[in-house]
Amino acid sequence: MNISVIIPMYNSSKTIINTLDSVKNQTAFNEIFEIIVVNDGSLDNSLSIVEKYYEANSFMPIKIIDQSNSGVSVARNNGMKLAKGHWIALLDSDDDWLPNKIQMQIDIIKLNPKIDFLGGDIDDRGLQILFKRVKGLYKASIKDICLKMFPQTSAAIFKRSIFEEIGGYDEKQQYAEDGNYFLKICAAYNYYHYPIQMLSYGGGKPAFGFSGLSANLREMHLGNLKNIRELMENSLINKHFYLFLKLFYWGKYFRRILLTKIRKI
């Protein structure tokens, strides 16, 4: 399928080897055309670790971009600009793909060639959108993604032509940037999800309120509000649904604050 893997990296010395190993151990490794690691101005020795890793695994088509710290959105965009594969698979530098992740997605796409974007789960709990349990291959709508942001970034694979046609991440947006980009894709392309675990997420850390950008709950909340406001301004959702989502997001925000405090007790 000719896949470009994009890995943005910032101060990832403790996790990047496991992440790269998870790519190397893919049962469909032969389908991976290139692995683009974008070092976003790391202050630790992440860059030298990747360079040494490549020396020891020269059969892997690793390409390294070293840039000054500009944020994850710029890093992903710079990686996608250089990508030559027909498909782009995103992978964060503290996540690990399960060995059959790429093979599963290839098999699904071959059986369903209308797919432009395909995601999967980060655990074995399945996908539930409010009261709707998703079973099997599912074509998502804008409303679905507004109510339940999925997939997690490292489970996403999509046609490179999407990036060429609508561009990449909003480089001015630091929080909820994945949601912003995925909503744009969902609005214009066939956006599918297969509810089966495809990766190990962040070494088992909680999905929010722990570390990284997702730890800043307030900024994540404001980023989510920005995303739905843009949808309304672009007539992708109506004003009534927008107002409902604002209330819904405020409820989620306060719930996450509470859960984070309980977790720290």
Per-residue pLDDT tens digits for 121-179: 999 999 999 999 999 999 999 999 999 999 999 999 999 999 999 999 999 999 999 99
**Which distant-in-sequence residues (6+ apart) come within 8 Å of 45 by Cβ?**
13
Look at strands 117-121 and 132-134 and give their pairing.
Answer: unpaired
C-alpha 186/C-alpha 192 separation (Å) is: 9
Residue 209: its pLDDT value, please?
45
Residue 1: its pLDDT value, please?
87
Which tokens belong to 234?
């672009």
pLDDT < 70 regions, the chain: 203-215, 264-265
Residue 261: its pLDDT value, please?
80
Q: In degrees rounded to 5, what are phi and psi of residue 10?
A: -145, 115
Which tokens belong to 47?
């860059």
Residue 210: its pLDDT value, please?
43
